[in-house]
Amino acid sequence: MPTNRVYRALADPTRRRILALLRERPMTAGELASQFELAWPTMSGHFAVLREANLVQAERTGSTITYRLNQTVLQEALMALMDALGVSPAEPSA
């Protein structure tokens, strides 16, 4: 259970912001990178961390690479974390 990669991936604000953006819709690496003031290699590194944590999926289409949020993995990771730390789940917003 390489769950540790997930926690480490979530520890960085830039990566959390990337995930939040991907929550809206899949985006290419360039699209994502343009939303930050960081150099491309830096962003590429963040993508790699997210890929290794299996939090995003990369799909090559021609010359561009589209990143897609892996909702299931993210959800399960957070649930596991909450469970391990004894945080009770919220009531479903009525």
Contact set with a second copy (CB under 8 A): 4, 7-8, 10-11, 13, 16, 19-20, 23, 69, 71, 74-75, 78-79, 81-82, 84-93
Residue whose CB is less far from DNA, 4 or 88: 4
Report how far residue 62's alpha carbon sits from residue 21's, in angstroms, rounded to the nearest whole number.
23
> For DNA, what does the binding mask look like between residues 12 and 41, x meaning CB under 7 A?
x-x-------------xxxx-x---xxxxx
Residue whose CB is less far from a second copy, 64 or 71: 71
Query: Cβ(35)–Cβ(21) under 8 Å?
Result: yes
Q: Which residues contact 49 (CB under 8 A, 6 or more apart)?
A: 5, 8, 9, 12, 15
